[in-house]
Amino acid sequence: MSTASPITSPSPSRRPSTRPINPGDRLFRRVLMGLSGVVVAVLALIAIYLAKLSWPAIHEFGLGFFWTTDWDPVKEHFGAGAFIFGTLVSSFFALALAVPLSIAVGLFLTELAPPRAAAVVGFMVEMLAAIPSVVYGLWGIFFLAPLLRLYVQPFLGRHFGWLFLFQGPPYGIGMLAAGLILAIMVTPTITAICREVFRAVPNTQREAALGLGATKWEMIRLAVVKSSWSGVFGAGILGLGRALGETMAVTMLIGNRNEISTSLFSPGQTMASVIANEYAEAGSNIHVAALAYVGLALFVVSFAVNHLARRIVKRLEMGGTR
């Protein structure tokens, strides 16, 4: 009796696809469901644990934590303002370089390159995403930073030193180096999305422009770029999500000084890099809590930014088949 045969089970036709009657299928389904649940649980546990760990700091410093810049483990007073500043400046500087570059590469790949060249260049750009972060850091320290210190920064200081961005001694390592390495690291992400967005523009639009006597450049501007702005924006936000949380290469290159400086030549600190630098030697509970508080903020912001980017890109994909 208790071993009800599949045929007599109450309502076999109600959800036939999600409620398998074969015992093997049922087991299979439960295993997959359990494993998927693990992923969700891990995400929730990270958030809960971060919140719990940072509770003393939240309680002690409140929201003021995010705009005070005083980070003093000895006096046990912590404010993350300088790291937030460093994160924003390095990320937006990186985007300012990477977005135009990615648009250019995306347009080249979809509109201009012969198919074989597009395949090779597209593959190379994707490979940039496969290089481990620490390798970028090494390259940055031993190649990029000396290059900046010896040539680029003296040049910028000499000719554009009147601008607040390019003042101070050339260290090589600093905000400029971190921003450049971030730009290289987010370019593959942004390029890949830009490429998809441009590819989604129907050919009839290109022919409409050409048929009106547009040159290739005018055709690209009128038919491709103008209708792609929201997608490119989404790509930029997705790149921002990557740049905000990038840790290893930035930690190796940013100089790790807990200060706000308006010059890109100066060393700085980001939310990610301060955690990587200090977690090992954080002695007091409140120091650990403050680091966790920074981590929690980074977690929430990255989550929100990624979610936003996905929504923009998804909406575009659905509207793209006009």
Partner 1 sequence: MTPATNAAKPPIPEPILSAKDVNAYFNAFHAVRGVSLDVEPNSVTALIGPSGCGKSTFLRTLNRLHEEIPGARFEGEVTLEGENIYGRGMDPVQVRRKIGMVFQKPNPFPSLSIYENVVVGLTLAGVKDRRLLDETAERALKHSALWDEVKDKLRAPGTSLSGGQQQRLCIARALAVKPPVILMDEPTSALDPISTARIEELLGELKKEVTVVIVTHNMQQAARCSDRTAFFFMGELVEYDRSTRLFTNPQDKRTEQYITGRFG
- The answer to whether 21 and 6 have CB atoms below 8 angstroms apart is yes
Cβ of residue 299: shortest distance to partner 1, in angstroms?
37
Give the DSSP letter of residue 295: H
Residues 264 and 256: their CA atoms lie apart, in Å, by: 13
Cβ of residue 308: shortest distance to partner 1, in angstroms?
22
- The answer to whether 184 and 105 have CB atoms below 8 angstroms apart is no
Q: Rank residues 62 and 213 by Cβ distance to partner 1 and give the closer one.
A: 213
Residues 78 and 68: their CA atoms lie apart, in Å, by: 8
Q: Rank residues 196 and 259 by Cβ distance to partner 1 and give the closer one.
A: 196
Residue 268, φ and ψ in degrees, nearest 5: -150, -160
Q: Rank residues 227 and 270 by Cβ distance to partner 1 and give the closer one.
A: 227
Cβ of residue 113: shortest distance to partner 1, in angstroms?
11
In the complex, the residues that contact partner 1 under the rule CB under 8 A are 115, 202, 204-205, 207-215, 218, 222-223, 226-227, 229, 322
Nearest to 171, CA basis, from 87, 71, 273, 263: 263
Cβ of residue 206: shortest distance to partner 1, in angstroms?
8
Q: Rank residues 77 and 199 by Cβ distance to partner 1 and give the closer one.
A: 199
C-alpha distances in Å from residue 57, one per residue of 46, 65, 245, 292, 301: 17, 8, 21, 8, 18
Q: Rank residues 169 and 202 by Cβ distance to partner 1 and give the closer one.
A: 202
Amino acid identity of residue 61, one-letter, is F
Helix ranges (DSSP H) in 254-284: 271-278
Residues 107 and 199: their CA atoms lie apart, in Å, by: 9
Beta bridge partner(s), residue 255: 268
Cβ of residue 106: shortest distance to partner 1, in angstroms?
17
Cβ of residue 267: shortest distance to partner 1, in angstroms?
43
Cβ of residue 249: shortest distance to partner 1, in angstroms?
37
Chain position carrying tokens 């971030």: 182
Burial 209-243 (b: 16+ CB within 10 A, else e): beeeebeeeebbebbbbebbeebbbbbbbbbbbbb
Cβ of residue 240: shortest distance to partner 1, in angstroms?
24
